[in-house]
Structure 1
C-alpha cells in the first residue's frame, strides 16, 4: 500500500477479520510502493508503455522490501508472502473519467507491469483485479495473458442489492493456466447469484440516511471548527440545520439545484427524501444528483459533501461507507452475519469512502470465485 494513512486501516481490517472468523490470522507483511519490486532506475518517466513493460520484464526482482508491519526489510517471496488468492485495487486515475484518460501512457502504468511481474514470478493461483470500467482490458491481456485466463465482469451496485448507490466497476479474474481449473462456469454462477440478490433486496437513497443526532452534531461541529473556527451555535445544535456551514459556492449550488428540481418536478426539493447531490460539482455544468437516476452519486477521492435536501445536512462518513456496502449499521451487520464495523474517526472514514472497493460487491465476487475455481497442484 503506497498511501501511508491507509496502512493502519489495513491492520485494523485484519483485526476485524479475526473477529469475524474467530481465528487469529497469520502474521502478514505490509509493503509500500509496488514499483519497488524492481531496482530503482529500471524505468524512466520518458519511456513509452512498451519500453516500460520490456524493461520491467527484463529487470531482476528485488528479494526484499521495507515492511511497515514489522519495521524492517522482509522477503518478497517465500512462505510468509505466499497466497492462493490476491484481490488488487490497482490505481485507476489514469483510466477514470475524473482523470485525463492517459491509460497505459499515464504515470501508473508501471504499477500494473510490476504487479504482473511479481505475481507471474510467484505463480499466484487466482487474482481478482478491481478498477473503473474504462480500464483497457487489452493492457491486462498483454501483461498477464500468457500465464492467466481472463474472466471479465462489469458490475453495478444493483447486483448486490444496493440499487440506491452508484459505483459501476470492472472486475477481472485472472486464473493461472497451470495451477487452477474452473470447476463451474463463473459467469453463469455470478449471474445467478446477482439475479437472486436483485430480487431479494434493492435499496433507495434514503436507506443510507440513518446516523443518530449525536453523530450528526459531531460531524457538524468538526466542520464548523474547520471552516469557521467556531463550534455549532445553539440554533445549529438544536435544529441540525447545517446550511450556514456551507461555503458560498456550496450554498449557490444548493439554491441552483433546488430551483432546477422545482422546474423539472413541480415540487420542493426538500419533499424528496431520496434526493442527494454532490456539492463539489457546478450544477450549471453538470447535475450530479439522485433525482433522475435514483442513485447516490459515485463517491470520489476528491470528496465533496453529499447533501441530503430533506434533512438539510450532508451524509456522515458512516453513511457514505454504508453506500459502499460496509456493515457499519447494526441491522446490516446482523443480516450479513458479521460484527458491526466500528467507525470512530470521521476523517479516516471519509478517506476510506472515497478510495476503496464496494465491500459487498467484492465480497460476492470473491465468494463466487472460491466456489468456481479449484487448485490443480
Structure 2
C-alpha cells in the first residue's frame, strides 16, 4: 500500500470540555506540506506524496514515555515562546514507530502535555487552548511526522507581533499593579489570596451572554467581563505576581465545562473558585462578597464540581480560612441563631446597600434550609424600618449566607 497524506476518523476529533473554550480542542487535519525532507519523498499521479518506509523502530509506549514527553514538552515550549504558528514535533518521533491506528492515543497524550504547559503559564492567555495536528504516514502506516498549530482567540489571531506585545504588556501591568496593592496591605499569603479573590469579584462581571471570545485574562483584567477561564487565569496571573503557587484546574461544575484554581499554602493544596463566588447578574463593586469557594477541600468541591483527580493536587483539608481566621464559624443551630440575631440588630439598612451574613457551619447536627429560613425570619423581627425588607438565604457547602436589603 502506498504512503499518503491521510485524514482519518480522527479528523474532526475534539478533545474539549463542553462549554469551556480554553480547555483543549484538538483538530487533526491533513498536512498541506510534507513533514519529511522534500528530497526524500515523491509524488503520485494523484499528487499525494509517498514517504518511503524506514527501518522498523520499536513502538512508542505512552505508559513509559518520560524521555519522549520531555522532548515533546521542550519542543512545544520553545515553539510557544517563539510564537511559532506551527511547531514541528518530528524530532520526538525519531526512534519510535506509531501505527496510524494508535494515533488517537498519541493525540490524547499530546493533549495532556500541551494542557500542562498552557495551564501553568497564564502569560499564554492569548491562546484559546485549542490546537491542530498535521501529520503524515509512511507506506507501512506508521506516523512519519507531525506538527502542532496553537489556536488563538479571534481577537488575538489578528494582532501583529507588536500589537500582541502591547496587549500582553497591558495585562501584565494590571496584574502587577493589583499584586502591589495587595502586597501593600498584607504580607501574609492567606490574607493576600483573600484580597485577590475579593478584588476579582468586585472588578469583574460574569459575561451573561456567554461569549467564549471573552474567556481569557485580557478580557477580564482590561474589559472587566469574562467567563470562568478568564477568572481562573486572572487569579493565577496575580497570584503568581505575588510569588504564590497558584494553579488552574479544569473539569465541570454542575455538568458544565468549567475552570477554577488550586492554591498551595504551607505544602497543602486548596480549591478556589472565584467565578462561583461572583453572583450573576453582577452586583457592582459595592456589593458584599461571598467566600463559599475559597480554600476548600476536594470533598466540599465534589458537591458541585467534577475533575480528573490525577491531574490536580489532592486537597484533603477544608481550610475555609476566611471564616475560621475571623471567628465566623458556628457549631450549632443555637449558636447560628445568636450570631444572626446580633448581625441583624447591627445592620445598617438605611444606606440602601444590602448586607451579607456569612458563617461556616461546623456542627455535627445537620442544618436544613427550613431551619435557616425560620432562624432568619425570627431574627428579622428585630429590624426597625418603615421600608420593606427583602432577604435571601442559602446553605452551600456548609456555608450559611443570608443577604438582607431594602430592595429586591
Q: 1 or 2 for the larger relative contact order (CA 8 Å, sep ≥6)?
A: 1
TM-score, normalised via structure 2 length: 0.25
TM-score, normalised via structure 1 length: 0.26
The structure number with the bigger radius of gyration is 2
Higher strand share: 2
